[in-house]
Chain A
Amino acid sequence: MFDQYNPLEDKMFQVMDQEGQIVQPQEVLALSDDEIFEAYKFMLYARTADLMSVSYQRQGRLFTLPPNLGQEAIAAAAGKQIGVQDWLVPAFREMGAWLLKGARLSDIFMYWGGYEEGSRFSEAPRFLPSTVPIASQLQHGAGIAYAMKLKKDPGIVFAFVGDGGTSQGDFHEALNFAAVWKAPLITIVQNNQFAISVPVAKQTASKNLAVKALAYGIPGIKVDGNDYLAVYSVVSKAKQYVAQGLGPVLIEALTYRRGAHTTSDDPSLYRSDDEEKLWELKDPLRRLRLYLSGKGLWQESLDHELEEEYRKTIEQEFAIYESQAPYPLENVFQYHYQDMPENLKRQLKEQQRFIKWQEVNQ
């Protein structure tokens, strides 16, 4: 597959077109219609949770967060194939993969709700916390992959980054290291075409992002990131390749961030309604709906039923987050060292003394 879709020729792997028509019948065999139906349901769940998060943020019940709208297929298709023995090294806009790795939605709400505990994900082993600095996590991915190799651990590493992240030195360094080490690392670039306001054309002079792999001597492939079946297939091939000990793979998944960069961003400053409408037609859920309704497996009422059910579950998860006890002062001081050093103990004590003074002097 990697030879057939040489990024130098700017080819993009696709299994179904914009209208849900299969263009590569043999590839679709990888998944049964039941599995595709399940994938659709999961993406709808993830989207519902994401849209509800944005509305909770608007109500002041969560803080700044990065919406996933339009990018759900990548996280869902990759996430489905990240096993218990594999590592997930996230960026911050692949919520579906977090959930599939075992993160509880209530924990995700905790994180965007401003509690550090929301980064712990106790129920999801081999999952680093989300990282805000751009692309630096890829080096951790390379290091984990080296450790997997050295320890003869069967796990492989899935690391995420965005199109903007490919401009950072860290991106280059991480891929180069992993390539030199032939380490089991799959790097997925979610090319949503914008780094906040900066379009990908201003980010790189390369034809595409997958082509960067060639300079590291590793396979790179560009895939239609709004095509669940295509992403699933590419990730599956990458997994096979990496598991053979052949070294890392770079996947560029082309998508479109239909929402804002974060809830603090206003996309109307830098892109047109027409462009947004165009990408609405390429939406990954719409595409699967068209496919499934062609098979008689989807009708309008299904979404309503499912959404109603999902909303209830999501509200329950949100209630768990909202019922957290108030944030204790001690929490600020914890987890900096194995044991708390004197300077921190002193500062904590002084703040406690101040609180007592305040009570007396109020």
Chain B
Amino acid sequence: MSVMTMVQSINNALDIALAESQDLVVYGEDVGVEGGVFRVTQGLQKKYGEERVFDTPLAESAIVGAGVGMAAAGLKPIVEIQFSGFVYPAFNQIVSHVSRLRNRSRGKYTVPMVIRMPYGGNIRALEHHSESMEALFSHIPGMTVVIPSTPYDAKGLLLSAIEYGDPVIFMEPKRIYRAIKQEVPEEKYTIPLRKAKVIQTGDHLTVVTYGALVREVLRAAMKAKEKGYSIEIIDLRTISPLDRDTVVDSVKKTGRFLLVNEGPSSFGVGAELMAVVIEDAFLHLEAPPSRLSGYDTVPPLPKGEHHYFHGPERIFYEMEKVLKF
């Protein structure tokens, strides 16, 4: 065990995976010499050589698109997109090829690659550095979208993603890259994909969340506890494909549902989860299922950020609305 930040635990996972398989390659913009702009890949090029850990020319489409070819030919590409806001040149590759090669070739070729990208805001950054667009990727058939919320989870989920037989979009909440430190085992372990985790049990309300907002929801739940409410909190871990059972079982117990996330509200992860809750737990509901997401706006530049990113107070306010309905 040693105390790690999420940056360190992801680095540790990549280190383990690189040591384990000669076919694994790690590449992207600035990941080699510099070790990534967030230093997630620090030291890996030195340890595993420039052929397996390398800087590419600046072109997200080719970073992802070349990965499709590498994966089909037997390599295991773990690519880094510097910020999720810069992934869009690669969107065609992701939608048209990464997610479809298994289907198109009737299982003859697969794309077991991992596309890592820091996402999310409240870090006082420039435009395109604060978005949470996981819903876009979750909407793509064949795609798996994973988001960790702690250093421990990040390592276990990433190692699972690397072993998984299909492409994974691995979104790293950069707001908590260094904000949380945790005991993390040095050795290999995995955490299953497509499985949510109940991180706090409760009786009055189910709150589903993920990524950097897990911490905020826990804080809001403390406040709710002071008021006598018992909140059940679920960390989705994998956004898509969704672990319906864990969510539905919990709502059947509590009768109330709230989704908390950061991205735009309309047509988002909240909409999907509310649909699931209505489909599978309708007769157990004691209040309309609800969501607290970002506004349907561009995240503001730093001076307006405090208006956009919801903290524990606003989360508690939403909890209370559902609880008091």
Binding site for B on A (CB under 8 A): 63-64, 111, 113-116, 132-134, 136, 164-165, 167-170, 195-198, 202-204, 264-265, 269-270, 327, 329, 331-333, 336, 343-344, 347-348, 351, 354, 357-358
Q: Does residue B189 face the partner (Cβ distance < 8 Å to A)?
A: no
Q: Which residues from chain A contact B295 at a C-beta distance below 8 Å? A: 332-333, 344, 347-348, 351
Q: Which residues from chain B contact A198 at a C-beta distance below 8 Å? A: 29-30, 33, 55, 57-58
Q: Does residue B107 face the partner (Cβ distance < 8 Å to A)?
A: no
Sorted nearest first, the 5 A-B pairs with minimum C-beta distance are A114-B302, A167-B57, A197-B34, A164-B58, A114-B303
Q: Which of A202, A343, A358 contacts B57 (CB 8 A)?
A: A202
Q: Which residues from chain B contact A196 at a C-beta distance below 8 Å? A: 29-30, 34, 37
B88 with A269: CB separation less than 8 A: no
**CA of A111 to CA of B265, assembled, Å:** 27
Q: Does residue B101 face the partner (Cβ distance < 8 Å to A)?
A: no
**CA of A192 to CA of B313, assembled, Å:** 47
Instruction: Specify the main secondary structure of chain B where it touches its partner.
Output: loop
B126 with A133: CB separation less than 8 A: no
**CA of A343 to CA of B271, assembled, Å:** 14
Given contacts A63-B302, A132-B126, A357-B317, contact A347 B58 (CB under 8 A): no
Q: Which residues from chain A contact B37 at a C-beta distance below 8 Å? A: 196, 264-265
Distance in Å: Cβ of A61 to nearest Cβ of chain B: 12
Taking A167-B59, A327-B300 as known contacts, 19 extra A-B pairs with beta carbons closer than 8 A to each other, sorted by chain A number, are A114-B302, A114-B305, A116-B300, A116-B304, A132-B85, A132-B129, A133-B88, A133-B89, A167-B57, A168-B58, A170-B89, A196-B34, A197-B34, A198-B57, A203-B57, A332-B308, A333-B295, A351-B314, A354-B314
Q: Does residue B266 face the partner (Cβ distance < 8 Å to A)?
A: yes
B317 with A354: CB separation less than 8 A: yes
Chain B 110-132 interface 0/1 with A at a Cβ cutoff of 8 Å (1 = within): 00000000000000111111000
**CA of A167 to CA of B29, assembled, Å:** 12
**CA of A198 to CA of B29, assembled, Å:** 8
24 A-B pairs within 8 Å (CB atoms) are namely A63-B124, A111-B301, A114-B124, A114-B304, A116-B304, A132-B127, A132-B129, A133-B85, A134-B58, A168-B89, A195-B29, A195-B58, A196-B37, A202-B57, A332-B304, A332-B307, A333-B295, A336-B298, A343-B266, A344-B296, A347-B296, A347-B297, A351-B295, A358-B313
A197 with B58: CB separation less than 8 A: no
Distance in Å: Cβ of A222 to nearest Cβ of chain B: 19
**CA of A195 to CA of B59, assembled, Å:** 11
**CA of A148 to CA of B274, assembled, Å:** 50
Interface residues of B in 137-157 (CB under 8 A from A): none
Chain A residue with the shortest CB-CB distance to B88: A133
Q: Which of B59, B124, B297 contacts A332 (CB 8 A)?
A: B297
